[in-house]
Amino acid sequence: MGVADSGVVRGGQAAPDLLIAGAGVAGLWLTVKAARAGLSVMLVEPGTPGCGASGGFLGALMPHSPERWNGKKDFQFRALVDLEDEIARLESDTGAYCGYRRVGRILPLTSERGRAEAIERTADARANWGPRFSYEVNHTPDRSGWPDMLRAPHGVVCETLSARLSPPGLIGALLSRLAVMPNVELRLGAAVVGIAHHAHEARLSDGSSVSYGHVALANGVGAFALVERAAGLPAGSLGGGVKGQAALLDAGASPDLPLVYDDGVYVIVHENGHVAIGSTSERDFDDPSGTDDQLDEIVKRARKLCPLIKHAPVLRRWAGVRPRAVGTDPMLGSVPGAPGVLAMTGGFKISFGIAHRMADCLVAAITGMEGPETPLSFAVDHHAAKAARKAAAG
Ligand SMILES: Cc1cc2nc3c(=O)[nH]c(=O)nc-3n(C[C@H](O)[C@H](O)[C@H](O)COP(=O)(O)OP(=O)(O)OC[C@H]3O[C@@H](n4cnc5c(N)ncnc54)[C@H](O)[C@@H]3O)c2cc1C
């Protein structure tokens, strides 16, 4: 569908081909991709774009481990490979800078068993990642560039697929791109609060209604409730939020240092030498945006892991709530029983690496154009079945 053909007329008003709830990394990529494909888009956001889980500063783009290959791992792998070109295109279109670099990653090995498992994975990586990226076990971390790495008595895994970007840089670039697209309307200060899918109409928090061709629920943790209501599923069944806390350190570190990942602790050097450290994973929390001693503990572990940052001052502490679907994989595609309603959420810890590809899947579903295959485990149906099994098990 071309721009000129788009804009179905409903109730005397031109309705957008695609109404999108939420201007986080998911909704912003979807807006840009849908508009590039010629759809008219209205993006609705109650706060400022990027004010949700996408408002942090980690930006790790790390693959799942290469063994026991499945649809999700394949989807993420292809997304991580493609992202390099996607970012280059976005930067060239906007002149904005996303702080992307494929720096690789090291994983310290702390037991002989871990080392043996890592050695087994090298063959899986060769088979599933192909020849462009390596996954090797080294005796010492010296080659990584990180000096004095202490906690690696059994060597380190060095892999070259991982990358990082600047989350604020990417969010800013996507916003710059959509700001000059004539077929995009950004509506700030309003939330999608209800969907009458039979009428193809969404109700907004400012009392207005918007007719649409399709509506995409890309509003992070909030999307689960809207999807549940549209599909007639029990409240709270499809997913929820997992809080994470992170810190940013002024370390003057070299920007080509690889990411470090050890048992839930990430250390990520950004282009300006700042080092981002994360993250807690909290299912129970009272204050979604507060930081506390759990973050102090993560920072302590990171400093022990990488003595280079031992005395680096903390610049910022931050917390956000990641969307996590009941089936653990992302949630993407048609909402059963609600024609025209699409889900795009549940990226949990990997959204920055896959949101562009999730967007391609939805644009293909809407336009009928060719696009990537959506793994079956991402389907709303799949998550609903998991929720039903969970409920049956009590
Ligand atoms: C500490 C921490 C560290 C992380 N590190 C990484 C990392 O290194 N790499 C990585 O890939 N991921 C990471 N993540 C996860 C990643 O940030 C999230 O998965 C991602 O930001 C989710 O994006 P989203 O667009 O789905 O949701 P969000 O960014 O939460 O965006 C949802 C938007 O929808 C808006 N909204 C809410 N309700 C409505 C409504 N009713 N109507 C319209 N709009 C609405 C919100 O205001 C918000 O702007 C991290 C998360 C945390 C918390």
Distance CA 276, CA 309 (A): 11
Which pLDDT tens digit goes with each residue over 49-80? 999 999 999 999 999 999 999 999 999 999 99
Distance CA 113, CA 111 (A): 5
H-only helix segments in 130-263: 167-179, 223-231
Q: DSSP character for 373?
A: P
CB 345 less than 6 A from any atom of ligand 1: yes
On the 0-12 / 13-18 / 19+ scale of CB atoms within 10 A, 243 is buried
Looking at the CA of residue 52, tell me the nearest atom of ligand 1: 30
Least confident of 148-152, 202-206, 268-272, 360-364: 148-152
pLDDT tier at 363, thresholds 50, 70, 90: very high
128 CA to middle of ligand 1, Å? Answer: 29
Distance of CA 217 to the CA centre of its chain: 15
CB 71 less than 6 A from any atom of ligand 1: no
CB 346 less than 6 A from any atom of ligand 1: no
241 CA to middle of ligand 1, Å? Answer: 10
CA distances from 257 to 150, 253, 348, 353 (A): 16, 8, 25, 19
Which pLDDT tens digit goes with each residue over 312-350? 999 999 999 999 999 999 999 999 999 999 999 999 999
* Residue nearest to ligand 1 atom 5, measured at CA: 58
Distance CA 201, CA 75 (A): 32
Question: What is the arrangement of strands in the sheet containing 201-204, beginning at the earlier edge strand?
Answer: 192-196, 201-204, 209-211
Which residue, among 314, 305, 312, has the nearest Cα to 253 in the 3D structure? 312
Domains of the chain, each with CATH number or no CATH: 3-54+169-238+327-392 (3.50.50.60), 99-165+242-321 (3.30.9.10)
CB 244 less than 6 A from any atom of ligand 1: yes
Which residue has 């462009």 as its token pair?
A: 132
24 CA to middle of ligand 1, Å? Answer: 5
Which pLDDT tens digit goes with each residue over 277-299? 999 999 999 999 999 999 999 99
Looking at the CA of residue 348, tell me the nearest atom of ligand 1: 19
CB 79 less than 6 A from any atom of ligand 1: no
CB 359 less than 6 A from any atom of ligand 1: no
Q: What is the pTM of this model?
A: 0.96
Question: What is the arrangement of strands in the sheet containing 41-45, beginning at the earlier edge strand?
Answer: 184-188, 41-45, 18-21, 214-217, 341-345, 331-334
CB 279 less than 6 A from any atom of ligand 1: yes
CB 192 less than 6 A from any atom of ligand 1: yes
CB 338 less than 6 A from any atom of ligand 1: no
What kind and span of H or E run contains 298?
Answer: helix 293-305
Confidence (pLDDT) at 10: 47
Find out whether 228 and 388 touch, Cβ atoms under 8 Å.
Answer: no
On the 0-12 / 13-18 / 19+ scale of CB atoms within 10 A, 85 is exposed
CB 330 less than 6 A from any atom of ligand 1: no
